[in-house]
Amino acid sequence: MLEVRALSKSFGGLAAVDRVSLDVGHDEIVALIGPNGAGKTTLFACIAGFIEADAGSVRFLGSDITGLPPHRICARGIARTFQITQPFARLSVLENVMVGAYHTTRVRRDAADRAEEVAWQLGLGPQLDMRADALTLAGRKRLELARALATRPKLLLLDEVMAGLNPLEVEDVVAMVRAIRAGGVVVLLIEHVMQAVVSLARRVYVLSNGRIIANGSPAAIAADPGVIEAYLGHGAAARLQRGGLHA
């Protein structure tokens, strides 16, 4: 469904994304993990059209979408959430989600219905009339999700949607993402919260210093020495091997 090929983006000589290639298939949840500063959000921004890549290509459903502006990317069926939530602060939850729903209809009634449906699905039903900036962090994360979902995307890019949530809240969101997947939407998520990655993703890409250093099932990459080094530092893999888990 999504094919990223050799995507590169540098900022003033520093390669934030370095010849990254990845694939997301038609019926899966794929996770993108990596230490802080690895370039994950930059990669998302390139895919979603907020940043123009220096080189490489992004293809979606067979067509080239490299360099398209964000609203065109959305029109093609890709929706994204932001790492730091970006609610429409002074609008109500309902109005927020309706903006997403308006993507597929002009009619207010239909947009409102769709918005309500999605909001209830994500547990925001009781807060429909609340101002977006009055929500808790968990609420705002769900709002990001609801808004993006309301556009009826084919692919959902979730940027650290679990960040800042406590384990119970994480479980709720995990269940929601599973339900979204069951509803036919493909998901590519950036995550730090391993609980979520392990529960949701069939495949995981690991990004470090702008490069993909591993790709496989959650179990496989957890054991991959290169991945361990990326997170725990040089030589950590060998130390772990020698001294068991307390290196």
Sites of contact with other proteins (CB under 8 A): 48, 50, 69-71, 74-75, 79-80, 82, 86-92, 94-95, 98-100, 102-103, 106, 108, 111-112, 115, 128-129, 147-148, 151
8 Å CB contact between 22 and 47? no
Q: Write down the least CB distance from residue 31 to other proteins, Å.
A: 20
Q: Write down the least CB distance from residue 107 to other proteins, Å.
A: 8
8 Å CB contact between 34 and 229? no
Q: Write down the least CB distance from residue 161 to other proteins, Å.
A: 14
Nearer to other proteins, 85 or 208 (CB): 85
For the residues of 70-137, what is the DSSP string, one character each?
A: HHHHHHHTEEE--SS----TTSBHHHHHHHHHTTS-S-HHHHHHHHHHHHHHTT-GGGTTSBGGGS-H
Nearer to other proteins, 11 or 231 (CB): 11
Q: Write down the least CB distance from residue 40 to other proteins, Å.
A: 17
Nearer to other proteins, 153 or 237 (CB): 153
Q: Write down the least CB distance from residue 132 to other proteins, Å.
A: 8
Cα distance between residue 151 and residue 149, in whole Å: 5
Nearer to other proteins, 142 or 203 (CB): 142
Of the CA atoms within 13 Å of residue 126, those in its CB half-sphere come to: 3
Q: Write down the least CB distance from residue 239 to other proteins, Å.
A: 36
Distances (CA, A) of 210 to 33, 51, 134, 190, 197: 11, 15, 36, 14, 20
Nearer to other proteins, 81 or 208 (CB): 81
Nearer to other proteins, 19 or 50 (CB): 50
Cα distance between residue 4 and residue 20, in whole Å: 7
113 exposure class (CB count in 10 Å sphere: 0-12, 13-18, 19+): middle
Q: Of the candidates 150, 148, 199, which has an alpha carbon nearest to the alpha carbon of residue 173?
A: 199
